[in-house]
Amino acid sequence: MGVSSAKQIRAWSLILALIALALLIVLPLLQIFIQSVYVDGQLQWSAPFQTLAASRFAGVLFGSIWLGICVIAGTTVLALPLAWIMSNTRLASWRWLDVVLLIPFMTPPYIGSMGWILFMQKNGYLEQLFPSLHFLTPFFFSFGGMVMIMSLHLFPFLYLLLRGALVRIGGSLEEAGAVMGGGFLYRFRRIILPLLLSAYGMGALLIFVKTIAEFGTPATFGRRIGYEVMTSEIHKYISSWPIDFGKATSMASVLLTACLLVWYVQSVINRKYTYRLVGGKGSRPSRLRVSVWTTGLSVTFILLLLIASIGIPYFSIIAASTMKLRGIGLAWDNFTLDYYKELLSWGSESMEALLNSVFLSLGASTIAVVLGTWFALVIGGSRTKLQRTVDAFSLLPNTVPGIVMVVGLILWWNSPWMPIPLYNTYGMVILTYVVLFVPYTVQYVKSAFTQVDTALFQAGQVFGGAPSYVFRRIVLPLILPGMLAGWMMTFTIASRELVGSLLILPPSVQTSATYIFAQFEQGQVSLGMAMAVISVGLTTLLLILMESLNSQRKWK
Amino acid sequence: MMNKHVFRTGWKKGAMLALTLTFGLAVAGCGTDTPSKDGAQATGSAGQAGAASTDQKLVVYSAGPDGLAKKLVAGYEAQNGVKVELFQGTTGKILARMEAEKANPVADVVVLASLPSVQGLKKDGLTLPYPDAKNADKLNPDWSDKEGNYFSTSASALGIAYNTKLVKTPPTSWADLAKPEYKDQINIPDPSLSGSALDFMTGYLSANGDGGWTLFEQYKANGVAMAGANQEALDPVITGAKSMVAAAVDYMTYKAKAKGEPIDIVYPKEGTVISPRPAAILKSTQHEQNAKAFIDYLLSDEAQKLVADASLLPGRTDVKADKRANLDEIPLLKTNWEWMGEHGPDVTEKFTQMFK
């Protein structure tokens, strides 16, 4: 096999990836931008700027960015110690915690916020349980409360990335530091921090982007405390008469620019601080002497985290889902399981919605992992301009608010000249989920892949391995954890995706998320909450199943 | 150096070929299981040619309430043997979907919860007039189009919903809500999310002139909170976090009350606003005959009875509701729908700014 043909195929693969990304992501978004400059069929380049010049706009943008920064801080405080605990102490063997810690992320944000609101509000569950704690209410309904809710929702995301990086750093480097007499803080500052920075930068960026693109929490909690962000503003133009996609997209493009800017900074950090960590020598987990005190502290930390991120919201959600009358509140004679019975009866609308969710997200996450891995391999170390373009394009869906991306997809796939009749079918829903969530796999696989030393592939070749053999036996096992994390993330989020589903589902089709939303709209809060419990429970079960199958295989 | 390059590209080649292939298959796969639209267009043109017997499809976009929309569709399907594809959402969601589908419209009939929106559709030339609709003459003439562009087949009235455990003597006028005893206890729906709340605001302003803003200023001063769409505003009142909702949609309150929740509604004595829920055929319809039959069904005795059973006001003046206050029992403000439709965006803007 000549060098030229291998080179050619690599070039073709790159170009094909670019074409795929253009068709799936870039062109649909472009359609929106075209619409934002056409006002009543006339080209007006100034239209977006007029929108942005509106006096309130700067404040709203600042609100979004400040929220993003605060949530990065919040998630860091939660995720960093957790990642350290789960890679450096004996608690690391509690692998089930990984799936449990995904529960906050699986909970639809607006449901999680509602759980907190029901718990903390006047006459809420907290007050019903401990009447003397009612003085906490005003402290909770504040900007700080919003940052807390969003951090508790998003931290698992950062945690998975950080833990992955810490595990790859392994014990030997830190032990070398310890042998040379470095104290814990010194080791952390000079060894772990620099090695962690690229993964952290990536995670922080995605947290930032997820925060400013998040709609659920601002819509439920932010509106209560009067905190305005870009997404709620965009949503207003896109869902109330008169509909104005132009204004919405003008704002979206500012959001996009802000995100691309942050992305650029991150990629600079990334290039500077990426090290080949997975070499031929094999690594083992770090188990530096951890004192009883540290272990105790770690267990306490995890316990408190679980109470705050799962305990409190799910107490509210489950309580609300088992109440005959919400006006009566917590009381034993007000308890019923009727809503669950209604939901789970076979052939019911809710059951159908649930099955739709499961199958659609299974399909979407599988396709997204395949596509995302391909993109990540094409991007490689993002050395060339084209590779960086693929990188940027594949990240786009994560930097645009979901609702904007979805409108772009509708405009694109429902154009009169579109030869593939995908719109209004299940295929369209899967495609939308794939587009929305492909960045996760790309990020996870990239993060795993860039830290693998090329010496490993060379070794495989030297010992006579064919390319496919090297891929199967060396590359695949090394990127598999990244692929799995991407698959789990995609499945998790796709199964609760709301904003896109609301607009893109074919008539007469519902998913569990749109079902929940519809129940809230119809005043059936208990029924909606019951559905949330069931769908999150089902997703958790599936993930635990996956995880246990995976670890079984590992030990064989 | 050269060798390293070969090594790197070698395995990559295999991997990428495989992934590229999979991607191609996935796209092809999605393309094949999607016959519906071609079919729809084919039957659509046949329907326009008058061969109604082959046209067995209708796409309806309907704003809630959920149960009623489904019952109406089921009734129509049983009567006409036509398969209805129903998309349900808020008025905003429906309008957004229609806007996104502008280049290639899918819906045949829309049922919205906001009169100004449908007036806007008519103004943009998107509606198909159906002046011969059966029973249209029995509709309340104030809420429907004279040329048959839209028909308000149901309506809700706006009132003050209150928690019966927290409020023992309910207020009797809109001005009462500005009293200090209710400070920080009242929700009002966000007019940018609730068409009916906007109807109340524009209706109140059109009846009271610019002086109407004084009421809202007093509300703001009394800590009235703007809280999401209708149900989001009502929910805290059911759980007791708030005491009252100003401009509450009545059928939602009736529904919660029927369930046994501690809630009730009053219509203030100086009058309130009715929020009609119009249905319209879209000019782009592929199934004109079916769409017309659907409008006829919505205006039929059977459908109007379903409307009344869902605690909404029937659109026809000759149908009475027995589970709720009828039109003649609700004091009304003298509203001007023309003015209301025109000034909706400005009022929304000013109001949301004020209550932020």
Instruction: Check residue B271 and give left, alpha or beta (phi > 0: left; psi -120 to 50: alpha).
Output: left
Mean pLDDT calculated for residue range B134-139: 92
Residues contacting A132, CB < 8 A, separation 6+:
none
> What is the distance between the alpha carbons of residues B51 and B107, in angstroms, rounded to a whole number?
20
To probe the interface with A, which of B3, B5, B16 has the most A CB atoms within 10 Å? B16
Interface check B356 vs A, CB under 8 A? yes
Residues in B touching A458 (Cβ below 8 Å): 3-4, 7
Cβ contact, residue pair B261, A326, below 8 Å: yes
Q: Where are the alpha helices (DSSP H) in A121-192?
A: 125-129, 137-140, 143-179, 184-187
Q: Where are the alpha helices (DSSP H) in A380-425?
A: 385-399, 402-413
Closest CB to B86 among A6, A223, A507: A507
Least confident of A448-457, A532-541, B68-77, B230-239: A448-457
Interface check A123 vs B, CB under 8 A? yes
At B289 the pLDDT is 94
Give per-residue pLDDT as tens, A296-308.
Answer: 999 999 999 999 9
Q: Using pLDDT thresholds of 50, 70 and 90, give the confidence band for residue A360.
A: very high
Q: Using pLDDT thresholds of 50, 70 and 90, give the confidence band for residue A278.
A: low
Interface check A410 vs B, CB under 8 A? yes
Q: Using pLDDT thresholds of 50, 70 and 90, give the confidence band for residue B41.
A: very low
At B160 the pLDDT is 97
Closest CB to A20 among B5, B23, B348: B23
Return the residue of A nearest to B17 by Cα: A13
Cβ contact, residue pair A327, B10, below 8 Å: no
Check: CB of residue A192 under 8 Å from CB of residue A142.
no
Mean pLDDT calculated for residue range A464-485: 79
* Residue whose pair of structure tokens reads 């704690």 in the numeric block: A133
Measured CA distances, B204 to A3, A157, A211 (Å): 78, 49, 38
C-alpha distance from B276 to closest chain A C-alpha (Å): 16
The token duo for A230 is: 């870009």
> What is the distance between the alpha carbons of residues A29 and A395, in angstroms, rounded to a whole number?
13
Q: Using pLDDT thresholds of 50, 70 and 90, give the confidence band for residue B5.
A: very low
Global pTM reads 0.80
Residues in A touching B97 (Cβ below 8 Å): 410, 503
Nearest-CA neighbor of B112 among B104, B103, B126?
B126
* Residue whose pair of structure tokens reads 């592929």 in the numeric block: B286
**The pLDDT of residue B47 is above 70:** no
Give per-residue pLDDT as tens, A487-509.
Answer: 888 888 898 888 788 878 888 88
How many contacts, defined by CB atoms under 8 Å, are there between A and B? Answer: 243
**The pLDDT of residue B263 is above 80:** yes
Query: Is A478 or B134 the better-scoring residue by pLDDT?
Result: B134
Can you give the C-alpha Rg of chain A in angstroms? Answer: 24
Chain B 53-72, residues with CB within 8 Å of chain A CB atoms? 59-61, 64-67
> What is the distance between the alpha carbons of residues B18 and B26, in angstroms, rounded to a whole number?
12
What proportion of chain A, given as a percentage, has pLDDT over 90?
Answer: 23
A335 by Cβ neighbours in 10 Å (0-12 / 13-18 / 19+) ranks as exposed
ipTM of the complex: 0.74
Closest CB to B10 among A1, A238, A423: A1
Give per-residue pLDDT as tens, B312-337.
Answer: 999 999 999 888 999 999 999 998 88
Which amino acid type is present at position B191?
P
Check: CB of residue A120 under 8 Å from CB of residue A137.
yes
Interface check A371 vs B, CB under 8 A? yes
**The pLDDT of residue B46 is above 50:** no
Give per-residue pLDDT as tens, A87-134.
Answer: 878 787 777 788 888 889 888 888 999 999 999 988 889 989 988 888
